[in-house]
Structure 1
Amino acid sequence: MTQPLRGILALVLVVLVWGTTFPAMKDLTATFSPVWIILVRFAVATLLLSPFLWRARRADLAAGLLLGLVLFFCYLFQVEGLALTSSNRNAFITGLNVLVVPLLGVLGGRWPERRIVLALVLALAGLAALCWDGGAWGRGDTLALLGAFCFGAYVKLMESRTRRAHRLLGVTAAQIATVAACAALWLLVGEAPHGTSAEAALYWRHIGASLAGYWPNFAYLGVVCTAAIISLQAWGQARTSANEAAVIYAFEPGAAAFFGFLWLGEAMSGRGWLGAALLISGMIISQWNSEGRPAAALAPE
């Protein structure tokens, strides 16, 4: 088996694992608040990636801190939206982040290429078909779209920061640790009880019991979907072209829809799959023959 083929197979596995994160987190939203899901997932991943964190240079830590702040809000919007809509619909809307980067270029005075205009038309048509299939546009969809814009801005920021990185995994470990720290601070300020000791004790007992019951879900999200898959993604991207990676990544929402059906029983009609196909087509067209972004794609989904 050739190295490029091994790289392609590695990235296919990456996308399949990414696809499971949407139903996995959706399953948890019935018991945990979004910020708890973010905190536990990224705290587990931080522990596993801590060797890279301790060896990171100061410049890499600073870059990771900035990127982690943006990434925290990416996940806050995404998981808040997951609690209010289906996992497959959330995944397809989140996938629109690949179109945000060229749109940000428009704000900087760069008009989009014709392929970007075509990709936007296909994406909008796909969203219309998805909404026609799954009901009117709701608050969960708006939050998912805000998450997509945040992810797009994050990728744009990461492109510039990672070009100057000494060790990419050091930057990645720093930003994952920052996401966990931001989630902990958000939790303590905005969600944890500040009343009587009895209320606090009841709250923490409930959280402890829930974490004990759902530890396999969090272990999977933190160990496999976040820590392990980053290493595999970096290995696969080093052996494939940017276009090959772009096409493979575009099928992540499709993988999420597949696992959403297996995991949660979520199903889409023919109109929904038509919208999915239009969205995926727009994502592929938007990325085809674009500039290489091996570093910018290293973001846990």
Structure 2
Amino acid sequence: MTQHLRGILALVVVVLVWGTTFPAMKELTAYFSPVWIILTRFAIATALLSPFLWRARRTDLMLGGILGLLLFFCYLFQVEGLALTTSNRNAFICGLNVLVVPLLGLLGGRLPERRIVIALLLAIAGLAALCWDGGGGWGRGDTLALLAALTFGAYIKVMEVYTRRAVRLMTVTAAQIGTVALCAALWLFAREVPRGSIDVASDAANYWAYIGHGLLHYAPNFAYLGVLCTAAIISMQAWGQARTSANEAAVIYAFEPGGAAFFAYFWLGEAMGGRGWLGAALLISGMIVSQWNAESRPAAALAPE
């Protein structure tokens, strides 16, 4: 087997693992708030990647900190949306982030290329069919997923610039993942830790007992998300991208929402009707068209899903 084929297979594994994160996090939203899910997942990954922070350059830490702050809001919108809609629907809408990057060129006064216009039309038609499926219409969860797509698109654009300035890319990656965990912790203590006006001590004891029970019960889920989906898969992504072309990687990544829908069916029993699958096909087609023959992205620009 050639190195090129091994690289393609590595990226296929990456996309399949990414697809499982949507039902895995969706299952956790039944017990935890979105920020608790983000904190636990990224705290585990930070502990595993912490050796890359040893003797880190200040520049790398600053770049990672800025990227991590933006990435935190990406996940905040994504997981908040997951709690309010199905994981397969959330995955397809979040996948539109690949269209955001070229559309950001409009802010610089550049007209979009023909392939971007075609991709945008396919994506709009896909969203219409997806929302028509089952008569559910557009909801708040879908709006949050779309905000996640927009934020992920902006994050990717900033990441492309910042990773070129990095001295050690894995240090930047570890720093941004640690920043996501830190932001989640600050958010929790500012907004979610109980502050009862009658019996603060009792409220806090019940709250932490509830959280502790959940962490023990869902430990396998968090271990899977933190160890495999966040820390380990980054290394495989970097290895695979270094051995494939930008177009090949773009086409493989476009099928991530399809993987999410596949695993959502077997993991959570979520299913889509004919119109939903038509919308999914149109969305995936739009993602592929938008990335085909696009400017090559840095092979080592790493982002967990």
Is TM more than 0.5 here?
Answer: yes
- Note the C-alpha offset of 1:92: 0.1
- 1:250 pairs with 254, 257, 271, which one? 254
Call closer, same or farther: CA 1:295–1:71 in 2, change over 3 Å: farther
1:74 and 1:66 map into 2 onto residues whose CA distance is 13
Counterpart of 2:15? 15
Q: Which letter does structure 2 place at the counterpart of 1:182?
A: C
Query: What is the rounded CA distance, in whole Å, between the counterparts of 2:274 and 2:146 in structure 1?
Result: 23
CA–CA distance in structure 1, aligned partners of residues 11 and 298 of structure 2: 12
Amino acid at match of 2:224: Y
Deviation at 1:55, TM superposition (A): 3.6
> 2:52 maps to what in 1?
52
Report the AA paired with residue 294 of structure 2.
S
Cα RMSD, aligned residues only: 0.8
Does the alignment pair 1:83 with 2:87? no
Aligned residue pairs, count: 301
For 1:29-48, list aligned pairs within 5 A. 29-48=29-48
**Which region of structure 1 is more displaced relative to structure 2, 75-84 or 51-60?**
51-60
2:118 matches 1:121: no
1:99 corresponds to: 99
The answer to whether 1:63 aligns with 2:69 is no
1:189 corresponds to: 190
Match of 1:158 in 2: 159
State the distance in 2 between where 1:172 and 1:188 align.
Answer: 25
Aligned partners of 1:123 and 1:278 also within 8 Å: yes
Identical amino acids, percent of aligned pairs: 80
Residue equivalent to 1:218: 222
Post-superposition offset of 1:294:
3.0
Q: 1:86 to 1:102 in 2, by over 3 A?
A: same
Picking from 197, 204, 208, the partner of 1:200 is 204
- Seen in structure 2, the aligned counterparts of structure 1 residues 77 and 12 have a Cα distance that, compared at 3 Å, is same
Partner of residue 241 from structure 2, selected from 230, 233, 237: 237
Deviation at 1:296, TM superposition (A): 6.9
Residue 49 of structure 1 and its aligned partner are, at CA, apart by 0.2
Offset, 1:297: 4.7
Normalising by structure 2, what TM-score? 0.97
**CA–CA separation in structure 2 for the residues paired with 1:160 and 1:148:** 19
Q: Larger deviation: 195-204 or 65-74?
A: 195-204
Partner-residue secondary structure (3-state), 1:137: coil
Paired residue secondary structure (2:275): helix
TM-score between both structures, scaled by the size of structure 1: 0.99
- When residues 296 and 106 of structure 1 are mapped into structure 2, their CA distance, relative to the original with a 3 A threshold, is farther
Alpha-carbon distance, 1:198 to partner: 1.2
Q: Match for 1:32: what amino acid?
A: F
What whole-Å deviation, never above 9, does each CA across 1:110-143 have from its counterpart, x for those lacking one?
A: 1110000000000000000000004100000000
Runs of 5+ in structure 2 lacking a partner? none
Find runs of 4+ consecutive structure 1 residues off by over 2 angstroms: 294-297
- Say whether residues 1:275 and 2:270 are aligned partners: no
CA–CA distance in structure 1, aligned partners of residues 218 and 114 of structure 2: 47
Mapped partners of 1:70, 1:78: distance in 2? 13
Q: Any idea what the Cα deviations from partners look like across 1:26-80, whole Å, max 9, x if unmatched?
A: 0000000000000000000000000012242111100000000000000000000
Name structure 1 gaps, 5 residues minimum: none
Separation in structure 2 between the aligned mates of residue 145 and residue 232 of structure 1, nearest angstrom: 28
